[in-house]
Amino acid sequence: MATLAVSGERKNYLNAEYGIRSWLFTTDHKRIALLYLLSITAFFFIGGFAALLIRLELLTPAGDLLSADAYNKAFTMHGQVMVFFFLIPSIPAVLGNFLIPMMVGAKDLAFPRINLISWYIYIIAGILYIHCLVTGGVDTGWTFYPTFSTEFSNTKVIEAGLAIFVSGFSSILTGLNFVVTVHRMRAPGMTWSRLPLFVWSHYATSIIMLLGTPVIAITLVLVVLERALNLGIFDPTRGGDPVLFQHLFWFYSHPAVYIMILPSMAVISEIVPCFSRKRVFGYNFVAMSSIAIAAIGFLVWAHHMFVAGISLYSAIVFSFLSFLVAVPSAVKVFNWTATLYKGSISFSTPMLYAFGFIGLFTIGGLTGLFLASLGTDVHIHDTYFVIAHFHYVMVGGAVMGYLGGMHFWWPKISGRMYPEGWGRLAALIVFIGFNLTFFPQFILGYLGMPRRYWQYPPEYQVLNVLSTAGATILAVGYLLPMVYLLWSLRYGKPAPDNPWQATGLEWQTSSPPPTFNFDETPIVTQEAYEYENMPLPEEVTLER
């Protein structure tokens, strides 16, 4: 392509300035996205290391590799790191940060300096958390339930609570930045109904971040205060209520699962149309289902508490609402599938991840129904069934979306093509490894193996060994992209501006984009996903 030659010489956001200071003091949303990329990858390794310890310990029924306390710290660290330091920031802070301004046709986010501040806040939180880990760690589980966390744990609960408290501000500021950007910075002609679905989903995510995060922040402050000053808020011997904490915690943490999955849905809604060469089926319904999920998602928190002693009737109401929130998710899956109809479908790496996402998210979502249904939840609550369910959603769904998105936009981010063959292979390995790791856990759960068990009765061993074997394959699948994406930075083919012939505004500018994204502000005259007018991508990028 003509642009191929040009992009090599152009000034872009990567070579605009050099030196560590130019990165640490940048206000360019694309550079900040890369800062986030590096830091969340580091945390993914920490969380992954803990997962490795957990899986190794569970190879045998006896507690032999780690001590009981070390095991408890390992799953706590795994959960907290993966949720608060990897998955919540992953797609929004990396891909969202990089792409939202470009997708709406803006030069940057509404508040570039606040964007940098949110990264620093994240880093401060991360350092606090790592400090907590190296000075002894914490063993409350990522859920911090009192009265264990407030009175009985002898670990660094205050430090961990404060670290997560601080990290919340990073989410809040990112959410604020996205909301204002989407409202105020759209290019001429970019009406709400022309916004890419990626932006719609991130808009919904940002609203949850803004409304939900303050609640977890204050809840953690209450735990810290209770521990430090003995207030008695959650202590029944002084008129407190330990179950109150669970209401507060899940009021945030249920919507937080949508903070983790909506951005991934955002990515899939871009990939599927592009590799089917069609407008996404039922644009309005996909967009509105994101908003519906964000809204109803705030009304289902007590489905985590059906056996925590809440009243019979409130349990029934929350069960009903939980079934209701499943509908918009199902609608999305149907619409993505329908988009394939009469398309021109390519099996490129991002599309393979999208297929993987649809499959795993379907299983994850449907197994959620077992937990929403009161009768079945009584038996499988707090067993490995729950672990399997949320990993299908959060790892099968969200991480698949993240990897798919990284491949899809990698040419734009790095200016290089990744090796397609390796990409497809890795996607396949991840899919197989994932299912082998987590499918046996559904069976374990129904058999009754409780979660957070360091040692377990011997009849559960075979399934646990299968799961650990799967985790090994999964690890290979995750390491591969890490290797070949880095390799491509040097040896990959230079990327054309629009290797996939995709419609979004981000593809109208060069790869990698200049610092201010567009040489002149784009004017939008089309709906999103007008693939009729786009040529098919060059075969160079689709080498077979």
Partner 1 sequence: MFDNFPIWPVAASSHAFWEDLLYLFLVAVCTAMTLLIFAAVAILATKYRRRHGREATPIHGSLLLEITWSVLPMGVFLVMFVGGAVLFFKMRTPPRDAAEVYVVAKQWMWKLQHTEGQREINELHVPVGRDTKLIMTSQDVIHSFYVPAFRVKMDVIPGRYTTMWFRPTRAGTYHLFCAQYCGTMHSGMIGEVIVMEPADYQAWMSGGPVAGSLAENGQALFQQLGCSTCHRFDVQGRGPNLIGIYGKPVQLEDGRTVVADEDYIRESIVNSQAKIVSGFKPIMPIFQGQISDEQLNALVAYVKSLSQAPAGQAGTPELKSPGTQPESPK
Span 389-428, contacts to partner 1 by CB under 8 A: none
Q: Is the peptide bond before 512 cis (omega within 30 degrees of 0)?
A: yes
Rounded to the nearest whole angstrom, what is the least distance from the CB of residue 119 to partner 1 in the complex? Answer: 33
Choose from Cu ion, ligand HEM, partner 1, none: what does 63 bind? Cβ within 5-8 Å by kind.
partner 1
Minimum distance of Cu ion from residue 458's CB (angstroms): 20
Beta carbons of 255 and 297 less than 8 angstroms apart: yes
Query: Judged by CB under 8 A, which of 335, 467, 510, 517 binds partner 1?
Result: 335
Is there binding between residue 387 and ligand HEM (CB under 6 A)?
A: yes
Which of ligand HEM, partner 1, Cu ion, none does residue 14 bind to, with CB < 5 to 8 Å depending on kind?
none
CA distance linking residue 217 with residue 233, whole number of Å: 16
Alpha carbons 94 and 36: distance in angstroms, whole number: 6
Q: Is residue 76 a contact residue for ligand HEM (CB under 6 A)?
A: yes
* Interface mask toward ligand HEM for 35-74; x: CB under 6 A: ----------------x--xx-------------------
Using CB under 6 A as the binding rule, whether residue 88 contacts ligand HEM is answered as no
Count of chain residues binding partner 1 (CB under 8 A): 97
Binding window for ligand HEM (CB under 6 A); candidates: 24-32, 81-89, 167-175, 204-212: 81-89
Q: Which stretch binds ligand HEM (CB under 6 A): 299-307, 391-399, 404-412, 521-529?
A: 391-399
The residue (of 315 and 475) whose beta carbon lies closer to partner 1 is: 315
CA distance 26 to 516: 13
Residue 527's φ and ψ, nearest 5 degrees, are: -65, 165
Q: What are the φ/ψ torsions at residue 450 (nearest 5 degrees)?
A: -70, 155
Q: Which stretch binds ligand HEM (CB under 6 A): 75-83, 281-289, 412-420, 535-543?
A: 75-83
Q: How far apart are CA 45 and CA 16, in angstroms?
A: 30
Closest contact distance (angstroms) between CB of 464 and ligand HEM is: 9
Site for Cu ion in 236-255 (CB under 5 A): 254
CA distance 21 to 18: 8
Residue 184 interacts with which of partner 1, ligand HEM, Cu ion, none, CB < 5 to 8 Å by class: none
Q: Interface with ligand HEM includes 389 (CB under 6 A)?
A: no
Binding mask 238-277 for partner 1 (x = CB under 8 A): -x-xxx--------------------------------xx
The binder of ligand HEM chosen from 474, 495, 502, 528 (CB under 6 A): 474
| Nearest approach, Cβ of residue 525 and ligand HEM (Å) | 40
The DSSP letter of residue 510 is -
CB 118 within 8 A of CB 174: yes
Using the rule CB under 6 A, which residue among 142, 198, 410, 418 binds ligand HEM? 142
- Cβ-proximal residue to ligand HEM, closest one: 79
* Closest CB to partner 1 among residues 93, 380: 380
Q: How far apart are CA 249 and CA 385, in angstroms?
A: 21
What would the two tokens of residue 295 be? 């809204």
For position 69 contacting partner 1 by CB under 8 A, the verdict is yes
Smallest distance from partner 1 to CB 354, Å: 10
Query: Within 58-111, where are the H helices?
Result: 68-80, 88-89, 97-104
Which pair of tokens denotes residue 399? 């991480």
372: Cβ contacts below 8 Å, ≥ 6 apart: 303, 319, 322, 323, 326
Q: Does the footprint of partner 1 cover residue 295 (CB under 8 A)?
A: no
Nearest in space to 505 (alpha carbons), one of 196, 69, 63, 218: 196
Q: What CA–CA distance (Å, rounded) separates 334 from 282? A: 10
Minimum Å gap between C-beta 418 and partner 1 is 20
* CA angle, residues 267, 270, 276, in degrees to nearest 5: 130
Phi/psi at 416 (5° precision): -130, 155
CA 162 to CA 166: how far, in whole Å?
6
| Among partner 1, ligand HEM, Cu ion, none, residue 87 binds (CB under 5-8 Å by kind) | ligand HEM
Between residues 119 and 390, which has the closer beta carbon with respect to Cu ion? Answer: 390
From the CB of 537, what's the least distance to ligand HEM, in Å? 31
Q: At its nearest, how many Å lie between partner 1 and the CB of residue 20?
A: 43
Per-residue 3-state assignment (H helix, E strand, C coil) for 307-331: CCCCCHHHHHHHHHHHHHHHHHHHH
Q: What is the maximum span of the chain, computed from C-alpha positions, in angstroms?
A: 75
CA distances from 91 to 74, 169, 496 (A): 25, 17, 24
- Return the amino acid letter for 472: T
CA gap 370, 443 in Å, rounded:
13
Q: Could you say which of ligand HEM, Cu ion, partner 1, none residue 78 binds, taking C-beta under 5 to 8 angstroms by partner kind?
A: ligand HEM
* Residue 82 found at the interface with ligand HEM (CB under 6 A): yes
Q: State the residues that interact with ligand HEM by CB under 6 A.
A: 51, 54-55, 75-76, 78-79, 82-83, 86-87, 141-142, 387, 391, 394-395, 399, 437, 451-452, 471, 474
Q: State the residues that interact with Cu ion by CB under 5 A.
A: 254
